[in-house]
Amino acid sequence: MEDSQELAMLSEVLLVSAPGKVILHGEHAVVHGKVALAVAVNLRTFLRLQPHSNGKVCLDLPNIGIKRVWDVARLQLQDTSSLEQGDASAPTAELVEKLEEVAAFPKDCADPARAAVLAFLYLYLCICRKQRTLPSLDIRVWSELPTGAGLGSSAAYSVCVASALLTACEEIPNPLKDGEPASRWTVEDLELINKWAFQGERVIHGNPSGVDNAVSVWGGALRYQQGKISLLKRPPALRILLTNTKVPRSTKALVASVRSRLLKFPEIVAPLLTSIDAISLECERMLGEMVAAPAPEHYLVLEELIDMNQHHLNALGVGHASLDQLCQVTMAHGLHSKLTGAGGGGCGITLLRPDLEQSVVEAVKQALSSCGFDCWETSIGAPGISVTRPPPWTPPCGKPWMASERSLCRCSPTTKPLPGLFWVPEPASVLAGGPQSQGRDLEPAADRAAQKTRSASCIPLSCPGGRATWGALTCPLTCGGASLLSSLQLPHTHPLWASAFSPDPLPTWLDAQMRECGS
């Protein structure tokens, strides 16, 4: 009976996704005991777990060009006595050193993939070691989040890995019920995911605050103060432009410079930090009011808070000419921007009011692109870690789309964006390929995706820029959208049907379900 249950577990494909994060208000002030507000940004990391019986564990990270394969039998022989059974224990230096040996990384290796691989091995060995034998798995992780930009990409990765492994090993149940396109875990299960994801972050960063993984797990918005994290009632999704100036910076150096300025000018800098704290609290109050009924005056207040906070951050000395340029470009179009994160370059956010015409947004993106910046049109307040029903097709031979192929940062704002999560051929090409082609995987290979961008024979099924994974069909149904779904023999309960008939950026069925599960 145990064997049959294990086989049933190993036959299930799992698809999960988790959001990144941005700091809305409270940068640098939080280091000095003030409040910071962090929100989930709807640029997501995706993980697909495929159980196997081939005795191998495969980790594929196409965004950074890494693919590692380990023999399960050899991993089984590793001395894992230092791992605490059933507990999210802190990784020790000795354990990390042992993981480096397993991963075949030399000591003090500077390989950018090192941390991601070690975090995966740590979570895999810790979570799966209670199984009679370590499971054979094929895991592929890809992301819309750029790395090293302060957007919580490593936390989203750790959250996806932890949730997938806990579910595959039946430490937590798969929350998807029959007929549901997407779902989230219970509060208790999310807390366990968060504990393990935090340990993955420890492997990567050493001593993280826990904010990034908490935002990625719970979604929405949270406040952080002196080590205490509290969730805020889920605010409405706010549209933003997220801009990466691509100017490198050192968070450690910037934090040190603010501390030095505080010691040098205490009577000047201390009130600035207190004022930033008041801005965070006022923003929290505004977001609370907007839960019930967002009004135009709320957006005006949010814009004022953004402007004041940006001036304060400049006074603290963490601004940069590139961020000034970002603010000037957006202000020329009546929009309001601030840095997010450490400053000194890095990323900035721009609030987009609901009544803003799309032509203005496109003009701003064009202007920012001409400055050499990367720009995403997305939203904040996104759902946290979620599980989605995998489409009824098999994985491709090629690699999945990369962040640059779904995000707007690589696309000229005046041209049609590159494809999203799924590309679907027109019915004619499906039928011409015969029955075998109807089961073909629709996750695009990166090279095919770019070639198909302007092809009339393809229909993008998700909206780039951080909108829903299951977006509305951009092609009218008269062009074959509905007949396409019929030709693929998808049940009418499948989410693609809802997408096909919904013009909304985020289909209401998914929005309502995600918000209900995440509240």
Residue 56, SS3? strand
Residue 147 has pLDDT above 50, yes or no: yes
Q: Mean pLDDT, to the nearest integer, of 321-336? A: 97
Q: What is the pLDDT of residues 31-80, one digit of tens each?
A: 999 999 999 999 999 999 999 889 999 999 999 888 999 998 888 887 66
pLDDT at 311: 98
User: What's the CA gap between 80 and 103, in Å, rounded?
Assistant: 14
Selected residue with higher pLDDT from 316 and 131: 316
Residue 433, SS3? coil
Q: Is 154 designated active site?
A: yes
Residue 494 has pLDDT above 90, yes or no: no
Q: What is the pLDDT of residues 197-242, one digit of tens each?
A: 999 998 888 878 889 999 999 999 999 999 899 999 887 889 999 9
Q: Mean pLDDT, to the nearest integer, of 277-281? A: 97
Residue tagged active-site, from 153, 154, 369, 407:
154
Q: The pTM is what? A: 0.74
Selected residue with higher pLDDT from 465 and 46: 46
Q: How many helices (H) and strands (E) does the chain have?
A: 18, 15
pLDDT at 61: 94
Q: Is 412 designated active site?
A: no
CB atoms inside a 10 Å sphere around CB 52:
15
CB atoms inside a 10 Å sphere around CB 79:
7
Residue tagged active-site, from 60, 212, 277, 374:
212
CB atoms inside a 10 Å sphere around CB 445:
18
CA distances to 147, 150, 319, 326 from 248, in Å:
12, 11, 13, 16
Supply angle C-alpha 150, 14, 59, rounded to 5. Answer: 60
Cβ pair 27, 36 in contact under 8 A: yes
Residue 516 has pLDDT above 60, yes or no: no
